[in-house]
Amino acid sequence: MDVIDLVVPAAGIGARVGKNTPKQFLMLGGVPVMIHPLRLFATIPWIGRKIIIHAPGTQDRMTEVLDQYGLSGWHLVPGGATRQESMRLGLAAVQTSRVISHNAVVPFVTRALVEQVARFDEDCVTTASPVQENMVKGGSIAEAAVNRADLKVVVTPVCFRTEALRECHERARQEGVVVNSDIELMLHYGRSTRLVPGHYRNFKITTLLDLALAEFLLAHPDWESD
């Protein structure tokens, strides 16, 4: 495997989780949430420069947490006002032709998932899992049912061609395009995006329910859902 740099967005404030502490610093199994994925990436020998994007003004806190848990060699980059701006700033520190992005609050990433997205040298490769729920579109009144067979949930890790992602971010900056994710950005500018199988355990912690589920899964590593 060629060397691939890593970018970990960790600049969020975690408003939806309902805590004063940003999600990446919340405790999960006795350590901050972000420590779980960082430990995993530290074991992968072909991961090159390891970049963490942190909220402005939190560099000392981030450094303290990394030192406390023995994680060295991480390059810290201050983020911007939005996730999109933060990612654009983080990409400036990438030195390899491809880059892996992984959200700091997706704690159960595995080496197999990382290797899976890195296997394909394409503009964008992301894990994706089938939607299990019944779906409709509309506001207070349902307008139509949505065929869930055509829907997937995408979660990091994601592997990009670095220049392709940089170009999309720069175009978005110039054109005032605002999106919710790098996947959406790539699709907006017509870049190919390959989907590879994800895993139900590899979810993003967004709410307190997610945090409770993560605690359960950490305590029951062999538990499988139907």
Domain contains 85: yes
Domain contains 42: yes
**Gyration radius of the chain over CA positions:** 17
Domain contains 225: no
Separation between Cα atoms, residue 58 and residue 224, nearest integer Å: 37
Counting the structural domains of the chain, the total is 1
Q: Which residues pair with 194 in a beta bridge?
A: 125
Question: Is residue 33 helix, strand or coil?
Answer: coil
pLDDT digits (tens, 9 = 90+) for 151-201: 999 999 999 999 999 999 999 999 999 999 999 999 999 999 999 999 999
Q: Residue 132: is its pLDDT beyond 60?
A: yes
pLDDT at 226: 47
- The CATH number of the domain holding residue 37 is 3.90.550.10
Whole-number percent of the chain with pLDDT over 90:
81
Give the range of the structural domain holding residue 190, as residue numbers without chain letter: 4-219
Nearest to 36 by CA among 49, 25, 20: 25
Whether the full predicted model's pTM is greater than 0.75, yes or no, is yes
Q: Residue 214: is its pLDDT beyond 80?
A: yes
Separation between Cα atoms, residue 49 and residue 94, nearest integer Å: 7
Q: Residue 111: is its pLDDT beyond 50?
A: yes
Nearest to 66 by CA among 56, 77, 76, 57: 76
For residues 24-30, average pLDDT:
94
CB 165 within 8 A of CB 110: no
For residues 37-60, average pLDDT:
96
Domain contains 224: no
pLDDT at 14: 59
Whole-number percent of the chain with pLDDT over 70:
95
Q: Residue 51: is its pLDDT beyond 90?
A: yes
Separation between Cα atoms, residue 213 and residue 207, nearest integer Å: 10
